[in-house]
Structure 1
């Protein structure tokens, strides 16, 4: 009887096992088979490397390099490390030891805990020498900028995940990044790849080729930075343009920041003032007043203009002043000596429509189509039908009309090209979306260009005169506007110079803006004294780099006949 029960018990057990096996095979077979299959399948990313940004001569100015990132792969083992080793790790990474331990303890069941990403090779070696338990490294792409702070406002930077945050890195993020692909593979029990099932190919990134010349960029940034320090200014901007084709050869600001050093970054240092900052152009607007004036029948450069006594009430409670009483000046002397009184008197013989037409033609109030993130295209240039009576007068000497450095330098390329408009470019071989306008007012611009050479030779910009090349330009000195109090500061100034060289076949247009110089040695902070020397240094070095032959044939000064006094 006992044997019967034993045999019966084993029979039931065997039967149950058989039934379970049959169920697993036929009822749940597909489910478990799918689970088993999934354990054998892995998605392996096909990673692409962020592309390089080059200057015009294919010198790399933004590259990607592999760097090691430290992570914890066995948290419990890591916590068993000696306290002295953990303290040493803390010193190497400059991270509090308790912060590291807390992070590990809070993620104790994970096998991947980042401690520090993209560590320098020197630090990696020191960490490896500690022989710590529970740690590992893996490679990550890291963006490196060989020119550091020199090109930071153009190139911008990426974040820790290699995504563009500003400048070219942001503008062309999709082009530079591409897209990772993925490969689906089957693994054996040893986690070895035995079969590729399918794959999605990556989208490979493309490099970006700029018009910037890193040699001229360095010369521009170095000279600007030195002058900002020398005159104790808050900031400065410089733009160098090849006036023959509209290509930007250099664009820099000071202060700047090193995108390789995240600790030195501040929003103030990162502000690209050359394309964002709006200001009154001051006397740098006067050449365009003279272009417009030539469309008036009774205007001649020999006209005699009485600027006595060096000041003039213009209405609205405003009185403008010259640096001194210049007395009676010819029209061209008004521009050479930068007389505000003379400029207002010239504005009284031209129409609002004529002046508006010229300001619009050279690009004020017009969007600049350029592939650089953050360009400020806003303007307060109203249609002439909306001007108040005083607007024409204040616009004549450059107040009340806000521009950016980029807009101002673009306008001066029209003078350099005798009235021909060219779109600005910062991408090499790029065709701008802007239509190139026909050349207009050629003779007007030629006459003004000749006078700008006199401004440098014997006017307010002698400090911008080059030793072996002809040059021309216009100075400007304005008070800085207090947007909170809605009035101009009495003791804060902006010094401006926009120049061009050589004058016969102009190659370069260079703009320099120095914000709020405070070194009293340079008071009253005229543009010729503060900004002019930067132009001279950068123009001289740029012409040498570009192998431009010295131009010693000065332009002869000719003008229309006639004589009037007003």
Structure 2
């Protein structure tokens, strides 16, 4: 007769898994939560300023709000220079729609070859590229109607010069950044420019403004500047000068018109000149303000004025004899000389021979007030 053995399990029997292992796992999990809580506290409280700065570097931008440049006016309030709105065209190369027909139309509107446009947008790693600065409003509108993805517009200001080449050397011009480069635009750039404002914003990667942050600083427009120039006198002075230079086949010419009572400059013109709004292929000859920069020695042209004053004062007559020999005259430690020894000359002869000695002796016959 066989015997059977009965085996039973008992809760009192010890587990083979060490107790410390479960405690270690619980402790590790708790430590992980403590680390996460500490990191969160560091980011939100102790290191908050650093992370905010990093976020601003990546997404926050300070936009400049351009000031409207002041106008330049003539003595009667007519405009010689003013600013008008002009859109500038820019793009994100990686986002541009590569439709060939649309790009061809865009190149035509921008007045550039298609190859040049393609060169500007060929680097798809770029996030910003200017296509053309300051285009006319009508052109900007046609570009917008093309609806090319990745092509955007930015509002800027462009200078207009109604008097064109007639007043170019007086008014001057600005560059594409609206900074004075020549003439009054340069000499009074600080007064005309004003002070730009600023706007702090957050942008997305496409350059679109998502949110305004901080306080907006409004721009301060430049002040208007009124000159003594009379635009009508300026125009006719330039026109007559241009005609005279062309008829006489001269290299260049200048004219300055002054108010004989106040001494104000009513006109100042040079030829050759240039169009301030179209400055492609400009040369130094065109830009040069000869009336201001070139040295001019009146020389013998002053002798008739001296003789006329002496005749008017009754100090001499046309036949008065002036002794110019021996062709030299010492005065105040200086020696005044003629090219030849003309001997005795009448007042008429002094003018004919352009005698320096004769003109000097005639001037000595008059008092300082004459």
TM-score, shorter chain, exceeding 0.5: yes
Q: Distance in 2 between matches of 1:85 and 1:186?
A: 31
CA deviations 1:226-260 (Å, max 9, x no partner) are 22222222211111111111111111011110001
Matched, 1:62 2:81: yes
Q: CA deviation at 1:143?
A: 1.1
**Map 1:224-243 → 2, pairs under 5 A:** 224-243=241-260
| 8 Å Cα contact 2:66-2:156 kept in structure 1 | no
Specify whether residues 64 and 7 from structure 1 end up closer, same or farther in structure 2 by C-alpha distance, changes over 3 A only. Answer: farther
Q: CA deviation at 1:49?
A: 1.1
Specify whether residues 219 and 229 from structure 1 end up closer, same or farther in structure 2 by C-alpha distance, changes over 3 A only. Answer: same
| SS of equivalent residue, structure 1 residue 68 | strand
Q: CA deviation at 1:21?
A: 1.8
| 8 Å Cα contact 2:241-2:254 kept in structure 1 | yes
Specify whether residues 203 and 126 from structure 1 end up closer, same or farther in structure 2 by C-alpha distance, changes over 3 A only. Answer: closer
Q: Distance in 1 between matches of 2:18 and 2:63?
A: 61
CA deviations 1:114-155 (Å, max 9, x no partner) are 111011234324433433221001111111111111110001
Correspondence for 2:267: 250
Q: Distance in 2 between matches of 1:103 and 1:56?
A: 45
**Map 1:380-399 → 2, pairs under 5 A:** none
**Map 1:466-545 → 2, pairs under 5 A:** none
Q: Distance in 2 between matches of 1:216 and 1:328?
A: 43
Matched, 1:137 2:156: no
**Map 1:45-124 → 2, pairs under 5 A:** 45-73=64-92, 75-78=93-96, 80-106=97-123, 108-124=124-140
Q: Distance in 1 between matches of 2:341 and 2:172?
A: 42
**Map 1:265-344 → 2, pairs under 5 A:** 265-290=282-307, 300-305=316-321, 318=339, 331=347, 333=348, 339-341=351-353, 343-344=355-356
Q: Distance in 2 between matches of 1:125 and 1:42?
A: 27
Matched, 1:209 2:226: yes
Q: CA deviation at 1:13?
A: 3.8
Q: CA deviation at 1:277?
A: 1.8
| 8 Å Cα contact 1:64-1:142 kept in structure 2 | yes
Compute the RMSD of aligned alpha carbons: 4.0
Structure 2, gaps ≥5 residues long: 1-16, 204-208, 329-336
CA deviations 1:309-339 (Å, max 9, x no partner) are xxx9968994699xxxxx985x3x568xxx3
Q: Distance in 2 between matches of 1:288 and 1:223?
A: 25
Aligned length: 336
Structure 1, gaps ≥5 residues long: 322-326, 359-439, 445-566
Correspondence for 1:377: none
- Structure 1 length normalisation: TM-score? 0.51
- Structure 2 length normalisation: TM-score? 0.75
